[in-house]
């Protein structure tokens, strides 16, 4: 009898507030895991069936450009987006990259948790999904996580992503972005929840607030919020005991495992994460890129020391 099928959750740790995984490195890991699923679809008799995966991480600051970004950025726009970002009294580099998702430009970085499931939505080993139902799965998993963890009432609208209301309840603000890319029914990308980062109107300085540099996802007249801001309004004060991004990722993973009908979650951590990242880079066409090798070495070197410190910080 085969063992129960479980979601494999790979969380890329944050050794320090300024040593975060590069987005490009997470993207290479995603490509590696998707390749496992595609290889099985090509030769099911010679390849073992891979489990569903979840990659979670908080990346270094990056602006990603979706497929609707038909014209290249002007030199002035590129310079504006690429200016360093001030975060927790530290200066962080900012990069830009094209993404296979739909939409226009969005931002990922500190204070946010990015969640990328990698699974075959037509696999008979768990619940199957149409493309629309899979998008709804990501939305509902995010809505349930916000409600159960933070008592935030979130919802969907005609615009992509997950939304909530702040203050008097009249204005809808985006609290989580959504972007999906499917290749032969194997999923890529996913959702990104704003946990503790400036809302569009909270901080006006572009150096400190990355949302001030763009119209998020090209939706004019809409603004962005985060869990901290919404919870502070709910409690009429500072958000008490705000959970860190890894804890949010763990909860989201458990919600996802229940909704796709698998037998729980296995958390992959420690040296195995470093091994997977190294394999992903070696098998990629690009090889090692800026900051990736240093991050992987830091993960290897710091397994004994900074894990407890990171847990104390809630990252």
Contacts of 176 (CB under 8 A, 6+ apart): 142, 146, 154, 161, 162, 191, 192, 193, 194
Q: Is the dihedral of CA 166, 172, 173, 176 positive or negative?
A: positive
| Tokens, residue 177 | 């972005």
Per DSSP, the three-state class of 179 is: strand
Q: Within 13 A of 164's CA, how many CA atoms are on the CB side?
A: 29
Burial 233-259 (b: 16+ CB within 10 A, else e): beeeeebeebbbbbbbbbbbbbbbbeb
Copy the structure tokens of residue 186: 């194997």
For residue 133, indicate whether it is catalytic: no
Q: How far apart are CA 176 and CA 163, in angstroms?
A: 7
Catalytic residue (choose from 29, 115, 214, 217): 217
Q: What distance lies between CA 181 and its chain's CA centroid?
A: 14
Cα-atom radius of gyration of the chain, to the nearest Å?
A: 19
What count of other Cβ atoms lies within 10 Å of the Cβ of residue 280?
A: 21
Q: How does DSSP classify residue 74?
A: P
Catalytic residues: 217
């Amino acid at each position: 009898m085969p063992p129960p099928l479980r979601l494999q959750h790979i969380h890329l740790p944050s050794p320090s507030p300024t040593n975060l995984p590069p987005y490009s490195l997470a993207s290479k890991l995603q490509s590696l895991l998707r390749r496992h699923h595609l290889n099985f679809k090509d030769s099911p008799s010679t390849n073992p069936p891979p489990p569903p995966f979840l990659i979670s991480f908080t990346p270094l600051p990056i602006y990603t450009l979706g497929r609707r970004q038909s014209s290249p950025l002007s030199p002035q726009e590129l310079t504006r987006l690429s200016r360093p970002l001030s975060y927790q009294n530290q200066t962080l580099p900012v990069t830009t990259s094209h993404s296979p998702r739909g939409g226009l430009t969005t931002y990922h970085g500190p204070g946010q948790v990015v969640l990328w499931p990698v699974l075959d939505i037509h696999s008979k080993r768990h619940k199957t999904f149409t493309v629309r139902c899979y998008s709804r799965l990501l939305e509902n998993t995010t809505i349930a996580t916000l409600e159960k963890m933070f008592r935030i009432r979130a919802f969907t609208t005609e615009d992509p992503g997950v939304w909530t209301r702040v203050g008097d309840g009249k204005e809808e603000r985006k609290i989580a972005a959504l972007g999906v890319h499917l290749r032969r029914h194997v999923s890529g990308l996913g959702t990104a929840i704003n946990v503790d980062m400036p809302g569009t109107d909270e901080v006006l300085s572009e150096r400190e607030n990355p949302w001030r540099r763009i119209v998020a996802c090209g939706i004019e007249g809409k603004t962005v919020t985060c869990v901290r801001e919404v919870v502070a309004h709910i409690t009429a004060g500072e958000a008490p005991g705000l959970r860190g991004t890894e804890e949010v990722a763990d909860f989201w993973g458990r919600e996802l495992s229940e909704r796709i009908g698998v037998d729980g979650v296995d958390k992959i951590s420690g040296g195995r994460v470093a091994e997977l990242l190294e394999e992903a880079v070696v098998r990629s066409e690009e090889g090692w890129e800026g900051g990736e090798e240093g991050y992987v070495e830091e993960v290897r070197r710091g397994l004994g020391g900074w894990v407890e410190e990171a847990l104390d910080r809630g990252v």
